[in-house]
Every structure is written in structure tokens, then in C-alpha cells.
Amino acid sequence: MQRPRQMQRLLFLLLGQLLTFASCYTTPGPKHEQRPGGPSQEHWGYSDQDWREDYQKCDGKSQSPINVEISKTIVNKNLPKITLEGYSLPETTLLNLTNNGHTVQLSLPESMSISNTFPQKYLASQLHFHWGTESSPGAEHTVDGIRYVAEMHIVHYAAKYGSLRGAAQKADGLAVLAVLFQIGPNDNENYNHIFDKLEAISQEGDEVYIPGFDVNALLPHQLSRFFRYNGSLTTPPCFQTVTWTVFNDTVQLSKEQLHKLETSLKTGHHTLDSNFRFVQPLNGRNVLASFSSTLPSGRMVVKESAESGGDDKPGLELDEPNAFSNSSDGNQIALGDTLAIIFGILFGCTALIFVVYVLRQRKHQRLNTESGKKVIYKPTNTMEA
């Protein structure tokens, strides 16, 4: 009866290890899909991102998002700095905030613009977000392979084309500013104008109006460090008409704020999450950097002081693993890793001791044989049934 019991214990140990590893390395993928018959007219989703059949442009050679490899960027310190006009909106301007089934989108007035940055003026149209789940990050652009927790896009169109629709298919039609988010210790109050209203637009198609506020406050402190490249809309119809500006410095949100973004909205009957497109091949495109990094192997990110809530001057630090984790899930992973290592070491030690024991026994037997003694093999009790 002893032998099966031991085998059982061994099996439990192995099973435990397997489960620990599984819990560590199984990351949930995007789980929702556009269901037919929903309010949205566009039947595309993020769980199947093969959009080429319905939207040919999505198969183009200059698609977005991309992974920015800092060491391969072309430094150009003469890139004009980003000049934003009219970003501080009066409260009397009411802004439409809607859940369109793909994201939360805030309409912006044409009085907001990017000026003296590109050869022409670009007027604001809307801003929206991309995010992951509570256990996996969901920014679209990655930097040196790091995916940040979420990303915001502020979409502008060339003034000369008169409208977003008119500009969307023109080569120089669109300019999008991209902001990457990290987890910080405090609520970023500047985002509560939007996040406080998410529950009010939980259903696809819902909308509310919010008073104008200072949209500048949603941006990183330092706008002079950015990456620039030519790409596309990251959603169908994937027009390749976007001049991208991805800010190097990140903006911090609290864990609670991110949680709200990840869980408040629905698309059909599902939670609206993981609404990010996978990175696309660069296909020889140049990515410019407006700055040269003093830390060639690391990414410079803004570190806000815990007390300031994000108002102090930013300092620099190497990128941290928290870019990947957003919460207790990060702790769970760390705990899982630790357990896996402990079980691994225990298992390894047991195996090593067993091997040493067997070798010593054999040596002992050989010595006994050589010295002419009669060798009696007597199994121990534990090996008996």
C-alpha cells in the first residue's frame, strides 16, 4: 500500500508544479468578439484581427501600431516641437463622450489644433483609448518590446481638407498624438473628467456630454521627446494616412482608474477590453526620434513624485517591470514564480539526494563484494507492500 501512496504524492507534487507554471504563464487573450446584430455597424473585432478581407488597406505596408526600437530610430533634434493651440477648453463647451463598441471616445472641437509643427495645420476631432485587461496590458505601440498598460490617441485632420472624413484618405490627411500610460501611486485627477463618466456609458451606443476642461493636462509634462513615423489608422479601414507622434514620456494613472477603464464598458454582452491591435511590420519605414537617449538600452520614462499627484517636474529612470503589470495580478505572478522556483528546487534536491544515495549504495555493495562479504539485499520496510 505504501508504493501507490508515494506515487500519489509524487504525482501531486508534479501536478502542483504544472499548475503553478500554468498560472504564471497563461495570459488571457482578447475574449470578446463583435457579435452580429449589435448596435455597431462595423463587424470587426479584436479577437480575430485578420481584417484584410473586408478592409484591403489593413494589408498595406505602412500599418500601425508598431514596435519602436529605440536603438534603430533616427535622431533628428530639428523636428519642430509640438505646438498645441486651444487645448484649454472652457466649461461652457460641452463634449460628447460615447461608448462606440470599440472604445470610449471624446469628441473635440475644431478650435483645438496642432500648429507650426507640420507644414500645415491640423484640427482636433476626437480622442479615445486602447486598453487591456486586469491581467494584461493593452497599449498599441510598444517601445523596445514593452507594452504599456494603455494608450490614448488624439486624432487631428488636416485643416485644408475641411473634415475628418474628407482628410482620412489623403496621404497627409491625419496627425495622431499617442500617449502611453503607466501605473502610478495616485489618481490622476485630470482624467476624472472622463473616467468618472464611464459607468454612465457602460452600454454600447451610450453617450453623455461633459463640460470642457484643460486637455493639455492629459498629456505628458515633456512634449519635446517623441517618436515620429508614417503609419495608419489602427482600426479598419486602416487608411495609411497618419503622421504619428508617440510621446516618449508616459502619463500615470492609478490602479483604480485603470481598473475602471478596463471593466466599465460593454460591447454587446461582453466587457469591452483588450481593444488593441497587434504591432505591424515596419517594412523599412524610418522612425524618427526628437531626442537622443542617454540610456541606450533602456527607455526613459517620467517618474512622478508620490506626493505631487503628477505636478512635479519629471525625473528620469530606467523602465520598470511595472510597465507590464497593473496591480495585484503582478503580485500573483510574482508569488506563482516564487512557488514554482521553490517546488523546482525541492524537486531538484530530492532527485539529487536520491542519485547520491543510489551511487553510495552501489559503491558500498561493490566494496562489500570486493572484500568477500556476502551481500544481502534487503529492501527497506517502506518499499514493502
174-184/251-254 β-pairing: parallel
Least Cβ distance, residue 4 to Zn ion (angstroms): 58
Q: What's the CA gap between 117 and 170, in Å, rounded?
A: 18
Which CB sits closer to Zn ion, 153 or 260? Answer: 153
SS (H, E, C) the chain: CHHHHHHHHHHHHHHHHHHHHHHHHCCCCCCCCCCCCCCCCCCCCCCCCCCCCCCHHHHCCCCCCCEECHHHCEECCCCCCCEEECCECCCCCEEEEEECCCCEEEECCCCCEEECCCCCCEEEEEEEEEECCCCCCCCCCEECCEECCEEEEEEEEEHHHCCHHHHCCCCCCEEEEEEEEEEECCCCHHHHHHHCCHHHHCCCCCEEEEECCEHHHHCCCCCCCEEEEEECCCCCCCCCCEEEEEECCCEEEEHHHHHHHHHCCEECCEECCCCCCCCCCCCCCCCEECCCCCCCCCCCEEECCCCCCCCCCCEEECCCHHHCCCCHHHHHHHHHHHHHHHHHHHHHHHHHHHHHHHHHHHHHHHHHHHCCCCCCCCCCHHHCC
Q: Is 277 in the site for Zn ion (CB under 5 A)?
A: no
Smallest separation (angstroms) from Zn ion to the CB of 51: 14
Report the half-sphere exposure of 44 (CA within 13 A, side-chain side).
19
Q: Which stretch binds Zn ion (CB under 5 A): 20-28, 60-68, 146-154, 310-318?
A: 146-154
Q: Cell numbers 485603470 label which residue?
A: 258
Q: Indicate which residue of 102, 128, 156, 193 is catalytic.
A: 102
Based on CB atoms, which residue is closest to Zn ion, 152 or 300?
152
- How many other CB atoms are found less than 10 A from the CB of residue 263? 17
Which residue lies nearer to Zn ion by CB, 133 or 232? 232
Nearest residue relative to Zn ion (C-beta): 153
Rounded to the nearest whole angstrom, what is the least distance from the CB of residue 150 to Zn ion in the complex?
11
Looking at the Cβ atoms of 153 and 156, the one nearer to Zn ion is 153
User: Of the ranges 6-14, 66-74, 150-158, 301-309, which one interacts with Zn ion (CB under 5 A)?
Assistant: 150-158
Q: Residues touching Zn ion: how many (CB under 5 A)? A: 1
Respond yes or no: is residue 102 known to be catalytic: yes
Cβ at position 130, least distance to Zn ion in Å: 6
Binding region for Zn ion (CB under 5 A) out of 148-156, 237-245, 278-286, 337-345: 148-156
The smaller minimum CB distance to Zn ion, of residues 147 and 153, is found at 153
Stretch that binds Zn ion, among 149-157, 208-216, 325-333, 353-361 (CB under 5 A): 149-157
Supply the minimum distance, in Å, between the C-beta of residue 262 and Zn ion.
Answer: 16
Question: With binding defined as CB under 5 A, does residue 303 bind Zn ion?
Answer: no
Contact flag: residue 153 with Zn ion (CB under 5 A): yes
Q: Which residues are paired to 105 by β-bridges?
A: 98, 128
- Which lies closer to Zn ion via its Cβ, residue 154 or residue 201? 154
Give the nearest distance from C-beta 128 to Zn ion in angstroms: 5
Does the protein bind Zn ion through residue 32 (CB under 5 A)? no
Residue 153 or 266: the one with the smaller Cβ distance to Zn ion is 153
Segment interacting with Zn ion, rule: CB under 5 A, options 72-80, 145-153, 277-285, 359-367: 145-153
Nearest-approach distance from CB 215 to Zn ion, in angstroms: 16
The residue ranges that bind Zn ion (CB under 5 A) are 153
Catalytic residues: 102
